Structure 1
Amino acid sequence: MIVRFVWLWAMSLLLLALPGAGAAQSLSVGDSGAPASVEVPEDLTPETVRDLVAGLTDAQIRQLLLERLDAVAEEQQEAAAEATEAGANLFYHATTGAVQQIVISVQKLPVLFERQPQAFVTFYETFGGSGILQMLGYFAIILAAGFAAEFVVNRLTRNWHLSSADPVQDTSRSAFRTLGKKLCRDLLGVFVFVAVARTVAFSVLPPEMLPYGGIILFNLVALPRIAMALAGFLLSPKQPEYRFVNTDDRTARFLSRHILGFSLLIGFMLAILEFNGINGLEAGETRLGFWLNLAVHLYIVWMAWRARFGLVDMMRGADDDVSAIEERVSRAYPWFAIAVSIGTWWVVNIMVSYEAWELLSTTPHFKSMALLLLAPAMDTAVRGIVRHLMPEMSGEGVVAERAHIAAERSWVRIGRVIVFGLVIIQIANFWGMSPVRIATGAVGEQFAASIIEFLIVVATGYLAWEIVSLVVNRQLAAEMTASGAVPDEEAIGGDGGGAGGSRLSTVLPLILLAAHTAIAVLFALIALSALGIDTTPLLAGAGIAGLAIGFGAQKLVTDVVSGIFFLVDDAFRVGEYVEVGDTKGTVEKISVRSMQLRHHRGLVHTLPYGEIPKITNYSRDWVIMKLKFTVPFDTDPEKVRKLFKKIGQEVQAMDLYKDDMLQPFKSQGVFNFDDVGMVIRGKFMARPGSQFMMRKEIYNRVKAVFDENGIEFARREVRVNVNAEGHEEDAADMSRVAGAAASGAVQAGLAGQGAAPPKDGP
């Protein structure tokens, strides 16, 4: 009984899980081989499935299961066959099919020379000589009306005109505003011209002449003028002081001139193809479009090659801080333009191989190619916008400057990603495709949707990466600038022990590393899932690897955990001078498992956190510097105290030290007596890092004040008393003894200085 219940429950779940389980099914199986019909309801639920299966025999259940599995297998085989066929079809059209279109176009050259004159003959026979003259008269009236209306608009907007009398603009923002006014004026003139000319054309032209009016107005007049307006906006060939892109005068004039020629060639191509269509000559019959399209792309290749050096400068921009990648991309741009032109031409051949004439009639290839070739202008625009919208540099010094440059580059990269996404979406719209429908005709809608989702996830992850870097680096620069975390070796005397950064500036690099790691792992898993890859084994493998690392690398775990507690205890910060055992140095860098100490003589020590028994911090909050001076026994200590007090007040009043000296220099009285004199000690309290410069200043002032007041520093000496009434031999002996004693004292003094050198560092 239990076995049958489990069997029925499994069958219920299987019937619900199988595709098409909700459709009505009919099963014909007899009790003893005779047919018997079993109706499967359309809306299946676990209860109805259990009721249905409870009334079936084991043979009927097996038969029903086999039928459903066979249906699923057939559906999968059909889907696989369709995908294989679609992939093979795409490969054929992208290679053999495209090549065949070239061969066919060459073969139809005689047909072209034979059929094209017939189109002109058909046009002449339709209107006759008088009709053509009448059409030309109508066109003259239409064009005159359009240009007259444009002249009136230009007079009304003459203050928008860019003339040599205008003041030279100093910034890209002003140039953009001035050139933008000129562009709007030119485009407004073209719009008014087309609107008025079109209205007049509909008023005076007979219906059979209206298509030719559209050919003249849009393809041969409006299109070249719009191209010239855009070229003037981007290149400003006549007035380089307003030029928005970075290029020389020769390149600007060359590109502007040939953009006009390029637009005229495209306009002529569209006009002649429309003319042939009106007069009964199909595009595929003569393949005239192939040769005109080839001429257009060869023209672009020639332009890119002739202006390659100017295009490199245009892509590089006027900024001095161009990265190595930007430099390589700039140098590769002319080749990119050539590749785009050739690639677009090949795509057109593929579309012709598919016989997608309706799609090509909207010229998506020309629009896509123009959008891709405008990359230098768009990139320059992004950099210009970022440069002008960026706030002023926060703080002063090297750290603030580096942070400002890094933030600017992050914004530029974010802008580039956004522009790239918009370009891809716009190109998809040119080809009549939504993001989900891209490539659906060849590889399937599900795969196309997965590709688009993958690209969106990657772009979003990159934007998150850049935004986190931007926020953390900006905060890090503000913290380091505010705390003065970059020490000046001249200011601190080269002895180390400077003040460190804030606690936040120490932790922020680790936070940035953790955030970058989390973003990379998270979005990588999401992107793989978007492609249909099961990430569960990856997560399981990562868990097993983590356990293996945890058991096999206990020392690493010890280092990481110890570092976490050191940071929680705020034992050290980046920039502070610390002592760990016999090792001293400034904390230069911290990582997950170790810290690096830079000795003030240049040595770098790397210490794992797990090997640090204790840390002595010389740079936290304040330091006390104690100085010793040895004076003769007959010196008045009270006089020295007053002199020290005066020196302390003078040093504390100095602008260089008034903010860093927390307590002024003062005397601590007689500290000790030795065989030379009295040892008098003084002290002062200062902020970490400034005590060494204060010490130098105090030493200099003490020396000067002692000289002014007749106080000498005690020095080791030997006194010899000689009896004048003694014999000469005794006097000579005593003189020799005194000389030997003095020599020994000097040697002892020198040896004492060499044996006890002053300590370096805090």
Structure 2
Amino acid sequence: MLLLVADTSAHAQTLEMVEGEESETVIVLPDPLTQEAIRDLLSQIDDQKVREILLQRLSEEADRRARELAALDQRDLDDIAEDYAMSLGAFVVTTIEVAPNIPSSISKAMSNFATERGDRGYGVLFLALIVSMALGLAAGILVRRATKDWQRPAREGWVSPFWSKLGVVSLQLASQVLSILAFAVVALGINLIWNESAAADQETLRRFITACIWTWMAAAVAIFMLSPRKPELRLCTADDKMAHSLIRFAVIVAAVFNFGFGFVVWMNHMGVPYGEVRFGFWVNLAFHIAIAAAIWINRNEIRTILMGHIDQAHRVDRWFSKWWPQISIGLLVLHLLVSVLIASTGTVDRSLLTAMALTLSILIGLPLIDQSVRALARGLISDRPDKDPAIQAADEQTRIGLSRVCRVVVLTFGVFFLLHLWGFDIVTLAEEGIGAQFARSVIDIFLIIVLTYGLWELIRIVTNRQIA
């Protein structure tokens, strides 16, 4: 209310109303600005005057915003790029300058932790950690035993179609996920009960246990994809050495992310805000470096996996398989720069960091997603060597057609998902430039083209099978 009835830039020493030559009341702010002084000021002004002042202030605010928008419209791309570059440079310089203070900030967090704990000994903390982890692991083992039938071992020398392999490893993944959930519920529950009256200990153990949970989950997903001890169930083209190497690096990357950012959140909870030493910047940098190192060290393995069966690979697939490690590292560098830029300007909603992370994951994993889609589509048609050659040729054409249809469907849904993730409303954006009717027509045409292509491929599949 104060902003509506007075000029906040005024520096008055007393509360008074001054009458001008035209009987215009000038409102002067009291000093100091207290709730009582504000109420006294409002009590001396009639309702009509308050409405006049309100209208005047709203008009001034509208004019100010109009001037700001006009100034923004006059900026060209060079000015915008220069502003972002200056913000980024200032952020990096400040981050480097405060980096030597990181050890003292960690000591400050530890000191605050000790102060908040009071007289509780550290033996109680470690005992709570051991009991929580032990009971959580026991719960996970019990769940694994209860789902023992889901962990069916493959028969020696067994050659299974893709969908059969997927069914076996999916059950194994489900068993692993349930055991992780059991561990999480029991371990976090024990911590919650044990440290009910010790908030500092509870927060510390919660961060550590949560980091363990998500790192374990990452390992479970990697094992699901690569089956290091069961090559007959492996869903991609990789040998045992490749599988173990990729799983090891997946666990390292997940551990850097979960334990690093968990420690950042813990420091913030212990009275060391992020902006004090920007420790999160270095964790984010280490996370990106870990991913880039994992991709580069395993680049040959990644190329082999992306290539799949080389005799069936298209020349475009060969090119992407060859250069995708370098492309992925380039995307990582771009993601790091954008995330730092967002942190430096502070003009973008931090929720977009989630959108950026998901977009990066989708882009880096695009070849794997594409190969998975093709494998799922090809697995719909069984391959038996006793079939007639003409039928085998028709089956191969059917697999190719289904792969194309599935790729188009996944690509369409992926585009709309990313647009929704970033908060883009295509029709609303288009209304501002090309008109709502034209925007809807463009979307309709796009969907018609997608559906027409899908129907064309399905007709080709049916025709080829009828001819065969």
Judge same fold: TM > 0.5, yes or no: yes
Shift of 1:339: 1.8
Query: Pairwise mapping of residues 257-272 of structure 1 onto structure 2 (< 5 A)?
Result: 257-272=248-263
Matched, 1:293 2:284: yes
- Partner residue of 2:208? 216
Contact 2:332 2:360 in 1 (8 A): yes
Relative to structure 1, is the Cα distance of residues 164 and 370 closer, same or farther in structure 2, using a 3 angstrom cutoff? same
* 1:105 correspondence with 2:95: yes
Work out whether residues 382 and 416 of structure 1, in 8 Å CA contact, stay in contact via their aligned partners in 2: yes
Aligned residues, how many? 399
Residue identity matched to 1:190: I
Which residue type is aligned with residue 143 of structure 1?
A: M
CA distance in 2, matches of 1:235, 1:85: 52
Superposition TM-score, scaled by structure 1 size: 0.47
* Residues 212-291 of structure 1: pairs in structure 2 closer than 5 A: 212-219=204-211, 221-291=212-282
2: CA distance, partners of 1:391 / 1:190: 35
CA gap of 1:161–1:466, structure 2 versus 1, over 3 A, is same
| 2:313 counterpart of 1:322 | yes
TM-score if structure 2 supplies the norm length?
A: 0.73
Partner of 2:453: 466
- How far apart in 1 are the matches of 2:439 and 2:327? 24
The SS at the match of 2:379 is helix
Alpha-carbon distance change, 296 to 387 in structure 1, aligned in 2, over 3 angstroms: same
> Which residue in 1 is equivalent to 2:296?
305
Give the superposition deviation at 1:303. 1.2
CA distance in 2, matches of 1:306, 1:458: 44
The reply to whether residue 419 of structure 1 matches residue 406 of structure 2 is no
CA 1:129–1:232: 2 relative to 1, 3 Å: farther
Kindly report the root-mean-square deviation, in angstroms, between the aligned alpha carbons of the 2 structures: 3.8
Quick one: structure 1 residues 290 and 86, their matched pair in 2 at CA, closer, same or farther if it must change by over 3 Å?
farther
User: Counterpart of 2:109?
Assistant: 119
Task: Determine the C-alpha separation between the residues in 2 that align with 1:452 and 1:222.
Answer: 46
The answer as to 2:427 corresponding to 1:435 is: no
Secondary structure of 1:389's match? Answer: coil
| Residues 731-742 of structure 1 mapped to structure 2, 5 A cutoff | none
- Cα deviation per residue 1:206-226 (whole Å; 9 max; x = unaligned)? 25133223212212x111110
Match of residue 325 from structure 2: 334
Aligned positions of 1:67-86 closer than 5 A: none
Structure 2 residue ranges without an equivalent (≥5):
1-64
Q: Structure 1 vs Structure 2: percent identity of aligned residues?
A: 19
* Paired AA for residue 451 in structure 2: A
- Residue by residue over 1:397-417, the C-alpha shift from the partner in whole angstroms, topping out at 9 and shown as x without a partner, is 77x776654543333233223
Taking the aligned partners of 1:325 and 1:174, their CA distance within structure 2 comes to 29
Deviation at 1:255, TM superposition (A): 0.8
> In structure 1, what is the Cα distance between the partners aligned to 2:145 and 2:88?
52
Higher strand share: 1
Is the 1:340–1:369 contact (alpha carbons within 8 Å) kept by the matching residues of 2? Answer: yes
Q: Which residue identity does 1:210 align to in structure 2? A: Q
Whole-angstrom CA distance in 2 between matches of 1:123 and 1:113: 15
1: CA distance, partners of 2:394 / 2:451:
18
Give me the whole-angstrom Cα distance separating, in 1, the residues matched to 2:442 and 2:208: 42
Partners of 2:285 and 2:336 within 8 A in 1: yes
- Considering fraction of residues, name the structure with more helix: 2
* Amino acid across the alignment from 1:434: G
Partner of 2:54: none
Which one-letter code corresponds to 1:171 in the other structure? P
Distance 2:435 2:263 in 1: 39
Q: 1:210 to 1:354 in 2, by over 3 A?
A: same
Secondary structure, aligned partner of 1:179: helix
Kept in 1, the 8 Å contact 2:154–2:233? The answer is: no
Whole-angstrom distance in 2 between the partners of 1:101 and 1:323: 45
Quote the offset at 1:342 in angstroms: 1.3
Match of 1:300, as an amino acid? Answer: I
1:185-234 alpha-carbon deviations (Å, 9 max, x no partner): 11011111111222222222125133223212212x11111000000001
**For residue 135 of structure 1, what is the aligned residue in structure 2?**
125
Matched residues in 2 for 1:296 and 1:406: separation? 43
* Residue identity in the other structure for 1:470: E
- Distance in 1 (CA, whole Å) between partners of 2:91 and 2:294 is 26
Provide Cα deviations, 1:491-532, integer angstroms capped at 9, x if missing partner. Answer: xxxxxxxxxxxxxxxxxxxxxxxxxxxxxxxxxxxxxxxxxx
State the alpha-carbon separation in 1 of the partners of residues 222 and 338 from structure 2.
26
- Native 8 Å contact 2:84 2:345 kept in 1: no
Give distance in 2, aligned partners of 1:325 and 1:411: 19
CA 419–404 in structure 1, closer or farther in 2 if over 3 Å, else same: same
Cα separation, 2, equivalents of 1:245 and 1:122:
50
Distance 1:477 1:155, change over 3 A: closer
Preserved contact between residue 402 and residue 458 of structure 2 (Cα < 8 Å): no
Aligned CA distance change for structure 1 residues 477 and 361 (closer, same or farther; 3 Å):
closer
| Shift of residue 476, structure 1, vs aligned partner | 4.8
Correspondence list, 1:486-565, <5 A: none
1:397-440 per-residue CA deviation (whole Å, 9 max, x = no partner) reads 77x776654543333233223333444555566x6x433289x9
Using the TM superposition, give the Cα deviation of residue 243 of structure 1 relative to its aligned residue in structure 2, in angstroms. Answer: 0.7
Work out the CA distance in 2 between the residues paired with 1:311 and 1:233: 17
**1:375 paired residue among 366, 370, 373:** 366
Alpha-carbon displacement from aligned partner over 1:430-452 (angstroms, at most 9, x marks no partner): x6x433289x9xx9994699999
1:316 Cα shift? 1.7
- Higher RCO (C-alpha 8 Å, min separation 6): 2
1:199 corresponds to 2:218: no
Amino acid at match of 2:314: S
CA contact (8 A) 2:143 2:179 kept: yes
Report deviation, 1:314.
1.1
Closer/same/farther in 2, CA of residues 281 and 127 from structure 1, 3 Å limit: same
The aligned amino acid for 1:213 is L
- Residue 145 of structure 1 is matched in structure 2 by 135
SS at the partner of 2:425?
helix
The amino acid across from 1:285 in the alignment is: E
Look up the match of 1:186.
176
Map Cα deviations across residues 623-654 of structure 1 (whole Å, 9 max, x no partner).
xxxxxxxxxxxxxxxxxxxxxxxxxxxxxxxx
**Conserved in 2, the CA contact under 8 Å of 1:93 and 1:353?**
no
Structure whose CA Rg is larger = 1
d(CA) in 2 for partners of 1:437, 1:92:
29
* Alpha-carbon distance in 1 for matches of 2:333, 2:444: 30
Q: Secondary structure at the match of 1:359?
A: coil
How far residue 460 of structure 1 moved from its aligned partner, in angstroms, is 2.8
Deviation (angstroms), 1:365: 4.2
Change (3 A) 1:197 1:113: closer
Alpha-carbon distance in structure 1 between the residues aligned to 2:158 and 2:355: 39
| Distance of 2:461 and 2:193 partners within structure 1 | 64
Distance 1:270 1:425 in 2: 30
Amino acid at match of 1:98: L
